[in-house]
Chains A and B, each alone.
Chain A
Amino acid sequence: MIWEWLIKSLVLILSLTTGFAYVTLMERVVLARIQVRIGPNRAGPRGILQPIADAIKLIFKEELIPTNADKFMFIVAPVITVIPALVVSAVVPWGPTLTIGNFSTPMGLADINVGVLYIMAITSISVYGITLAGWSSNNKYATLGGLRATAQMISYELALGLAFVGPVMLAGSLSINSIVEAQKTLPFILLQPVAFVIYFTASLAEINRAPFDMPEAEQELTAGYHVEYSGMKFALFFMAEYIKMITVAIIGSSLFLGGYQGPFVDQYPLLGFVYLFLKAFLWLFVIIWIRATLPRIRYDRLMALGWKVLFPIALANVLVTAVVLVLIGG
């Protein structure tokens, strides 16, 4: 029993970390193609070994700690940032029950009846790492970046939480497994298009991606909260950001695109993994595409968008969904 969990945890963490390495490569290649460049093509065939080369470079870089920095917090902050990113996708199923011989196991680490709430809880903790990194660097640009990140993430968390409510009401459960099973015939993106758009926008803001990458705006804040970081500690922030991208893609696919559901998934449970992978891949591609297309939004406009547009629409969506569900006797 405990071995089963250990193996599943290892699979999850390893696929997230290797996924992180190759999402960086994917982002560079896609961005290059969109901007009519070639992109990384030196390390290995088609640049396939580029992430390994990057990792080696970052490991051998010098670790700098600013003189007046709060040393303990400066070292701990990257770790606090990575851990929530790694654990948040533990409640997402990868496929239906897998049966090999007379041994059967659900594909997925944990199926808890408060899965969506768990995701909310972990996302709300993940603010700390970034804020503390900005504060402990003792650098005004870093502190500003950290404060911006806090304000932005708290604001968009509300819209994000309300976007979760749509699928939760349709499935009648807070467990991600039940939500995915409820989408067997029809993915929720067709029933909840508004919630999907709100989730997509708010999640971009939540993970500080373009066009909402104000906390790390290179031109104004010289990269924001991680200016003073170098070497492995910088690599940890980088890792957290890309793992958050993957997590957002996986959770979004499970809530709105049907997760592991797809043709023939009942006969061949392992196909579920493939479907989830393909959906997440598509999602990541759109995120990168948006980064290449849209300019960064000004900070006050960003807050106004979160509070005055997304939040009321999300609230109205919840209300309309609830009324419709009651009327059709769902």
Chain B
Amino acid sequence: MTIQILVFLILAAIAIGTAVGMLVSRNAIYAVLFLVSNFITVAVLYLLLGAPFISLAQVTVYAGAIMVLFLFVIMLLGGEKLPVAAGWGKQRWAIIGVAVVVLVEAGLLLVLKGDMSLMLIESAMDAGPASIGMTLFTKYALPFELTSVILLSALVGAIVLTKQDKP
């Protein structure tokens, strides 16, 4: 077992642990913090995969902006204390179904396609900010411009939805 596999296993354990923690926590603030730890762990996994730009963008956007927004809304609405989860209820079969499908799919992939030969190779590609920027502004220029429209409409939408009429 190489040191990289060991690092991966530790990070994977943390990621799964924090995800489970988010699901079972009774307090929404703790749920947010578990999810933030999960995102940061996944960001470290991105570093392991040779994607420094995406890794830091993940921390900035997910952990730094999106989750702070969640924290802010939870504090604003005062909804920290959560009711006990309603249990599995009628969704039980849906959960088991999805779980079985995804696990069977992963298993099939393991059996049919890969013994352990599908190894990630040592990253030789240049995933630095310069090459990402070049690809973004040449090959993906149109989608990039479209995202600015999405962001603008989200901005306007959020303001319109939460605006209170002046008395």
Contact = CB atoms under 8 A, between A and B. Distances in A.
Are the chains A and B members of one assembly?
A: yes
Interface of A: 70, 73, 112-114, 117-118, 120-125, 127-128, 131-132, 135, 143, 146-147, 150-151, 154, 157, 173-174
B63 interface: yes
Contacts of A117: 53, 56-57, 60, 129
A124 B63 contact: yes
Given A70-B29, A127-B64, A131-B72, 8 more contacts: A113-B128, A114-B128, A118-B56, A121-B63, A124-B59, A131-B68, A131-B75, A154-B65
Contact of A121 (B56, B68, B129): B56
A116 B80 CA distance: 35
B36 interface: yes
Contact of B72 (A73, A112, A147, A157): A147
B64 A132 contact: no
8 tightest A-B contacts by CB?
Answer: A124-B64, A121-B59, A117-B56, A121-B60, A121-B56, A113-B128, A174-B129, A114-B52
B65 A112 contact: no
Contacts of B57: 117
23 contacts: A70-B27, A112-B52, A113-B128, A113-B130, A114-B53, A117-B53, A117-B57, A117-B129, A120-B64, A121-B56, A122-B59, A124-B60, A124-B68, A125-B40, A125-B59, A127-B68, A128-B33, A131-B72, A132-B33, A146-B75, A147-B76, A150-B68, A154-B65
B29 A124 contact: no
A120 B57 CA distance: 9
Contacts of A113: 52, 128-130
Interface string B123-134: 000001110000
A326 to B, nearest CB: 13
A135 B60 CA distance: 22
Nearest to A122: B59
Contacts of A118: 56
- Chain B interface size, as a band, is 20 to 34
Given A131-B71, A132-B29, A151-B72, A124 B52 contact: no
Interface in B30-84: 33, 36, 40, 52-53, 56-57, 59-60, 63-65, 68, 71-72, 75-76
Contacts of B53: 114, 117
Contact of B68 (A73, A143, A154): A154
Nearest to A72: B30
Contacts of A120: 56, 60, 64
Contacts of A127: 64, 68
Nearest to B43: A121
A73 B36 CA distance: 15
Contacts of A124: 59-60, 63-65, 68
A221 B10 CA distance: 43
B104 to A, nearest CB: 37
Contacts of A154: 65, 68
Contacts of A135: 29, 75
B64 A121 contact: yes
A185 to B, nearest CB: 23
Given A114-B52, A127-B64, A154-B68, A147 B75 contact: yes
Contacts of A122: 59
A20 B56 CA distance: 28
B123 to A, nearest CB: 14
Contacts of B75: 131, 135, 143, 146-147
Which of A114, A122, A173 has most chain B Cβ within 10 Å?
A114
Contacts of B65: 124, 154
A120 B72 CA distance: 20
A150 B71 contact: yes
Contacts of A132: 29, 33
